Amino acid sequence: MLDIQNLNVVYGTGRLRVDAVKNVSFHVEPGAAYGLVGESGSGKSTVLRAICGLAPISDGRVLVDGQAVTTPRGKAFYRTVQMVFQDPYASLHPRHTVDRTLSEPLAIHGEKDAEARILQALREVGLGPSFRFRYPHQLSGGQRQRIAIARALILRPKVLLLDEPTSALDASVQAEILNLLDDLRRRLGLTYILVSHDLAVVAHLCERLLVMRNGEAVEETLAESLRSGAASNGYTQALIQASQGFTRVASQPAQALAG
């Protein structure tokens, strides 16, 4: 479904040159969920942004359905690939109602039958028709993220790019959104790329994942081997350890990180 080949993203030139993504390649099968994990600055979000045209591709290729993407991306691309952002407080227009937010993609792509589509989209993300004419400030964080997911799904894309979709949410709301995403993928046969710093979230939603650090791919592994602790790389091990909570007997992950 999605093929990333030797992707490089470079910002600036000369002294100010920053290599945000260095030679990253991976392949995602149709209907699969693929995770990108790493600390901030590891380039995981930049990979997503490069796929959907929000960051420049300096070198390498991005293939969707076997076809290389063009810059700027065409309408057909956005019909196939849509994105959900991290902060639902920032990604919805504060002065547009839910109805207007959801009808905009339909209008851009000249879709008919907007009314029924909007009501269906709301139903899919578990919200009733009563939410249709609300403004974002009249919704809770979890409801906003549901609207952001509905907006991404309303064009019936095949690929959903998820950039930390639950990290701005409370634990109990996070569980609801993760269940929703899991359920939608199964029902609609979607392909996901999930970016998160939380290993447990990635392992829950994805089958395969790529650990990134300083713009480079460190290790591609299976969620299964994360669970069983079979990840070979020292950096991955350090991440696993840090995600287990604070340990008073210092196991010195800092050393593993430096190495």
Partner 1 sequence: MTTPLLDVEDLRVRFHLRTGIVEAVRGVSFQLGRERLGIVGESGSGKSQTGRAILGLTPPPGEVTAKRLAFDGIDLLTASKRTLRTLRGGRISMVMQDPKYSLNPVMTIGEQIIEAYQAHAKASRNEARDKALAMLEAVKMRDPGRVFSLYPHEVSGGMGQRAMIAMMLVTDPDMLIADEPTSALDVTVSMEVLRILDELVTERGMGLIFISHDLKLVSSFCDRVLVMYAGRVVEELEAKNLREAQHPYTQGLMRCLPTLADDVRPLPTLNRDPSWAL
Q: Which residues bind partner 1 (CB under 8 A)?
A: 39-40, 141, 170-172, 174-176, 178-179, 182-183, 197-201, 203-204, 226-227, 238-240, 242-248, 250, 253-254, 257
Nearest distance in Å: CB 176, partner 1: 5
Our CB check for partner 1 shows the closer of 13 and 244 to be 244
Sheet of strand 18-28: strand arrangement: 18-28, 2-11, 59-64, 67-68
Tally the residues of the chain: 259
Nearest distance in Å: CB 40, partner 1: 6
Nearest distance in Å: CB 223, partner 1: 8
Our CB check for partner 1 shows the closer of 74 and 189 to be 189
Our CB check for partner 1 shows the closer of 40 and 71 to be 40
Nearest distance in Å: CB 10, partner 1: 22
Our CB check for partner 1 shows the closer of 25 and 243 to be 243
Sheet of strand 33-37: strand arrangement: 81-84, 159-163, 191-196, 33-37, 208-213, 216-222
- CA pair distance 93, 99, nearest whole angstrom: 12
CB-based contact 25:41 (threshold 8 Å):
no
CB-based contact 34:26 (threshold 8 Å):
yes
- CA pair distance 24, 97, nearest whole angstrom: 39
- CA pair distance 230, 226, nearest whole angstrom: 6
- CA pair distance 239, 241, nearest whole angstrom: 5
Our CB check for partner 1 shows the closer of 86 and 103 to be 86
Nearest distance in Å: CB 175, partner 1: 4
